[in-house]
Amino acid sequence: MNQQTALQHDSTILVVDDTEQSLNMLVELLQLEGYRILQAQYGELAILTAQTRAPELILLDIRMPGMDGYEVCRRLKADPVTSSIPIIFLSALDDTEAKVEGFHLGAVDYISKPYHSEEVLARVRTQLELGNLRRTLEQRVALRTQQLLAEVTERTQATLELMKSRQELQELSWHLEEVREAERKHLARELHDELGQVLTVQRLELKQLADQIEQPPDILRNRILGVLGMLDKVADMARNISESLRPGMLDVLGLSAAVKQHVSKFGESSGIQCSLQMNRDDFTLDSRTATAIFRILQEALTNVARHARARNVDIRLAELASELILVVEDDGCGMQQKQPGERHGFGLFGMQERVKLLGGELLIESDSGQGTRIEANFPLGVTT
Can residue 347 be called a binding residue for other proteins (CB under 8 A)? no
Provide the 3-class DSSP secondary structure of residue 112.
strand
Provide the 3-class DSSP secondary structure of residue 9.
helix
**Of 52-91, which residues contact other proteins (CB under 8 A)?**
none
Can residue 248 be called a binding residue for other proteins (CB under 8 A)? yes
Asked if residues 275 and 231 have their Cβ atoms less than 8 Å apart, the reply is no
Sequence-separated (6 or more) residues with CB below 8 Å from residue 82: 47, 50, 51, 54, 76
- Where residue 246 falls (left for φ over 0; alpha for ψ -120 to 50; beta otherwise) is beta
Site string for other proteins, 173-202 (x = CB under 8 A): -------------------xx--xxx-xx-
Considering only 10, 95, 154, 365, the residue that binds other proteins (CB under 8 A) is 365
Considering only 137, 149, 363, 382, the residue that binds other proteins (CB under 8 A) is 363
Cα–Cα distance for residue pair 165/365, rounded to 1 Å: 31
**Of 314-343, which residues contact other proteins (CB under 8 A)?**
314, 316, 318, 320-321, 323, 325, 327
CB of 349 to other proteins, least distance (A): 21
Considering only 36, 203, 309, 338, the residue that binds other proteins (CB under 8 A) is 203
Between 193 and 218, CB nearer to other proteins: 193
CB of 289 to other proteins, least distance (A): 16
Residue ranges with strand state E in 17-92: 36-40, 57-61, 87-91
Q: How many CA atoms lie within 13 A of 384 on its CB side?
A: 1
Strand partners, 363: 375
Contact residues toward other proteins (CB under 8 A) are 192-193, 196-198, 200-201, 203-205, 207-208, 232, 235-236, 239, 248-249, 251-254, 257, 260-261, 277-282, 314, 316, 318, 320-321, 323, 325, 327, 363, 365, 373, 375
